[in-house]
Homo-oligomer: A and B are copies of this chain.
Amino acid sequence: MRALVTGGAGFIGSHLCDRLIGQGAEVWCADNLYLGQRRNIAHLESSNRFHFVALDVLERKKLDALFADAKFDAVFHMAANSDIAAGVADPDLDLRLNQLTTLSVLEAMRVHGARRLFFASTSAVFGETAAVLHEDFGPLQPISFYGASKLAAEAYISTYANLFGMSAVVLRFPNVVGERATHGVIYDFLRKLEKNPAVLDVLGDGNQTKPYLYVADLVDAILLAWEKSSGPLSVYHAAGIGETSVREIAEIVVGAAGRPDTTIRYGAGDRGWPGDVPRFRYDISRLQGLGWQPRRHSTDAVRLAVERIRANGF
């Protein structure tokens, strides 16, 4: 496999690079280092099958040159603004980093005849609903620019795949946790505690409850979906077992930091920021049908992530 991983120096992208290299693939890791970090892939740079390319995929000419040179047969488009709250303040951020990067990648694939695409999507495409979310659920009414831009990207992927004979796999990630995270509730709490160990301020009332998935389990899902899918467009949902409240996460983080004297101070309201969806649940039977099983309960995933992020540094 000759694989391009956009955002390959980021959180999930770098874990994916690890596994692809481990499987014997030749990997081009393209990253503009906006959220990604060189240290996430430093251990791969000695491999002659690993190539780091400092590249913003919005730069179409540079991306074209890379496609012409490398002749990819697999493209994993992981590059994105993954900070949902940041997107609310600047609608253009998610448009550019999530949707327009995808259009850039799709157009390069079309021009250079690369046929197989993996796309990192999100539960945020659904907006706020009490339903258990199957892949075919409708309506899709996002409430964040993050969700809107990812849904827009999915719409263009569907169109390119159907018009130009591509084959795309879309996996809608749940909340993913683990070492090398660049954002998210665990990361935020650890940062806050580092600055002020006496008080941990929590956004919202702490009752936001979501399924968390450990990053290694997600990469299992990505690679299995990739291997088992064919046809223009295959869409999957992945989640861990059960769910975890922000309150539980705060207590785990404070416990792990060995600071039982820390006061956890909750905010008001049922969400962390405008556009936050306080609760969602996934139907994962489609991915289970391929043989994937989440290996950890959501709360165990959170515990493991806290431990690894603390050990790894952040």
Q: Which residues of B contact A235 (CB under 8 A)?
A: 139
CB distance from A292 to the nearest CB of B (A): 20
**Chain B residue with Cβ nearest A106:** B91
Query: A76 near B: Cβ within 8 Å?
Result: no
Contacts of A151 in B (CB 8 A): 151-152, 155
Those of A123-158 within 8 Å (CB) of chain B: 125, 127-128, 135-145, 147-149, 151-152, 155-156, 158
The digit string for A230-270, where 1 denotes a CB below 8 A from any CB of B, is: 00010100000000000000000000000000000000000
Residues from chain B with Cβ under 8 Å of A162 in the complex:
127-128, 141, 143, 275
Q: Which residue of B lies closest to A152 (CB)?
A: B152
Central interface residue in A128, A148, A163, A233, by most chain B CB within 10 Å: A148
Q: What bracket does the count of chain A residues touching chain B fall in? A: 35 or more
Cβ-closest chain B residue relative to A146? B159
* A139: chain B residues within 8 A (beta carbon): 135-138, 235
- In the complex, the answer to whether A138 meets B141 with C-beta atoms within 8 Å is no
**Min CB gap A115→B, angstroms:** 17
Residues of chain B within 8 A of A163, CB atoms compared: 88, 143-144, 274-275
Cβ B159 vs Cβ A147 within 8 A: yes
- Give a binary string over A70-105; 1 marks a CB under 8 Å from any B CB, 0 the rest: 000000000000000000100100010001000100
Judge whether A107 is part of the interface by a CB distance below 8 angstroms: yes
- One digit per residue, 1 when the CB lies within 8 angstroms of any chain B CB and 0 when it does not, for chain A 195-235 equals 00000000000000000000000000000000000000101
Determine the distance from Cα of A163 to Cα of B136 in the docked complex, in whole angstroms: 25
Q: Is the CB of A148 within 8 A of B143?
A: no
Please give the distance in Å from A268's CB to the nearest CB on chain B: 18
Judging by beta carbons under 8 Å apart, are B127 and A145 in contact? Answer: no
With a cutoff of 8 Å between Cβ atoms, the chain B residues found around residue A91 in the complex are 103, 107, 156
| Distance to closest chain B CB from A99 (angstroms) | 7
Which of A91, A135, A147 has most B Cβ within 10 Å? A91
B159 touches A155 (CB 8 A): no
Q: Are B142 and A140 in contact (CB under 8 A)?
A: no
Chain B residue at smallest Cβ distance from A150:
B155
Which residues of B are found within 8 Å of A99, using beta-carbon distances?
152
* 18 A-B pairs (CB sep. < 8 Å): A127-B162, A138-B138, A138-B139, A141-B155, A141-B158, A141-B162, A141-B233, A142-B155, A142-B159, A145-B156, A147-B155, A149-B155, A151-B151, A151-B152, A152-B156, A155-B155, A163-B274, A163-B275
Chain A interface (Cβ < 8 Å from any Cβ of B): 88, 91, 95, 99, 103, 107, 125, 127-128, 135-145, 147-149, 151-152, 155-156, 158-159, 162-163, 233, 235, 274-275
Since A141-B155, A145-B156 are in contact, a sample of 19 more A-B pairs with Cβ atoms closer than 8 Å, ordered by chain A residue number, is A91-B156, A125-B155, A136-B138, A137-B138, A139-B235, A140-B140, A142-B158, A143-B162, A144-B159, A144-B163, A145-B159, A147-B155, A148-B155, A149-B155, A151-B151, A151-B155, A152-B155, A152-B156, A162-B275
9 tightest A-B contacts by CB?
A138-B138, A152-B152, A148-B155, A143-B162, A141-B158, A151-B155, A148-B159, A136-B139, A148-B156
